[in-house]
Amino acid sequence: MSEHLVLVADDAGIRRITVNRPDKLNALNAATLDALQTAFDAAAADAAVRVVVLTGAGPKAFVAGADIAEMADLRPTEGRDFSLRGQKLMRTIETLPKPVIAMVNGFALGGGLELAMGCHLRIAADSAKVGQPEINLGLIPGFGGSQRLLRLAGRSATLELCLLGAPVTAERALQLGIVTRVVPAADLEAETLKIAAQLAASAPLALRATLDVVNIGGECGIEEGLQYESAQFGLMFATDDMREGTRAFVERRKPAFAGR
């Protein structure tokens, strides 16, 4: 992993991954995409990690987009490969078997919004702005933005953001369903880590199953989704965590989940 591009820190089951190019507003070049891919692969494989928080270094940007200077001279096949590289990362995040929270501390534009939309929850500072401005460069979203934005916000909002290319405020993004919550900028870290701590204390196998059923349900018909939900629901009855959770409820105490 290129440690200067991506920083990783652990605390009580929470892994914090920070894009660390503040002088470039954390723009995603190929090396940064690779470093993030390595970081998320490692988080998926580490049993001690219960939840991941993703953010950007510095006060201005979560991720301001893909690195335009690097993209400017790409040939068509190289542009396609760059798109596929970004899409692989976003899909890795989206299908990670642990919750991933985007802590959107500033601009999340283009590839930055696509990165945030790959996460399961998006907590935004009230000062943040999000958008898909690729049209202004003669481009379209390339890291899955058109598809995830369509699923989160619908056709009308997707066309608005992608055709006009203008950023929207965090509050507008909340109204459109693009972000999960908006909090005062001064409270962003504390509020995000509070949610992360809650998730880290939850039953890991149930968290994973929840992510699975939502991902599967979003990509199949209702009948298939319901059948998959029932199958996963039944599997939970084979876990120690389910026994602990139900006992704790009856005994009026907090459960201690072990991920078994």
Judged against a pLDDT cut of 60, whether residue 68 lies above it is answered with yes
Residue 249 has pLDDT above 70, yes or no: yes
Q: Which CATH superfamily is domain 204-250 in?
A: Lyase 2-enoyl-coa Hydratase, Chain  A, domain 2 (1.10.12.10)
Residues in Cβ contact with 117 at an 8 Å cutoff, skipping those fewer than 6 apart: 90, 144, 145, 148, 149, 152, 178
Residue intervals in the chain for CATH 1.10.12.10: 204-250
Contact 16, 56 (CB under 8 A): no
Rounded to whole angstroms, what are the CA distances from 38 to 92, 128, 156? 10, 27, 35
CB atoms within 10 A of CB 43: 23
Bin 65: left if φ > 0, else alpha if -120 < ψ < 50, else beta: left
Kindly report the number of other CB atoms within 10 A of residue 9's CB atom: 10
Q: Look over the chain and give the mean of its residue pLDDT values, rounded to a whole number.
A: 94
Of 3, 70, 78, 114, the catalytic one is 114
Q: What is the mean pLDDT of residues 162-180?
A: 97
- Averaged pLDDT for residues 61-85: 93
pLDDT of residue 2: 46
Q: Of 70, 134, 189, 244, which one is the catalytic site residue?
A: 134
Which pLDDT does position 3 carry in this prediction? 56
Kindly report, residue by residue over 192-224, the tens digit of the pLDDT. 999 999 999 999 999 999 999 999 888 888 999
Superfamily of domain 6-200, CATH level 4: 2-enoyl-CoA Hydratase; Chain A, domain 1 (3.90.226.10)
Q: What is the mean pLDDT of residues 185-195?
A: 98
Q: Taking Cα atoms as reference points, which of 98, 63, 96, 105 lies closest to residue 191?
A: 105
Spatial distance between the Cα atoms of 70 and 142, rounded to a whole number of angstroms: 14
Write out the two tokens for 63: 């991720």
| pLDDT reading at 1 higher than 90 | no
219 catalytically annotated: no
Q: Where in the chain is the domain with CATH 3.90.226.10?
A: 6-200
d(Cα 239, Cα 47) in Å, to the nearest integer?
16
Distance CA 133, CA 131 (A): 6
- Does residue 244 carry a catalytic annotation? no
pLDDT of 245 > 90? The answer is no
Q: Which two tokens stand for residue 174?
A: 């909340």
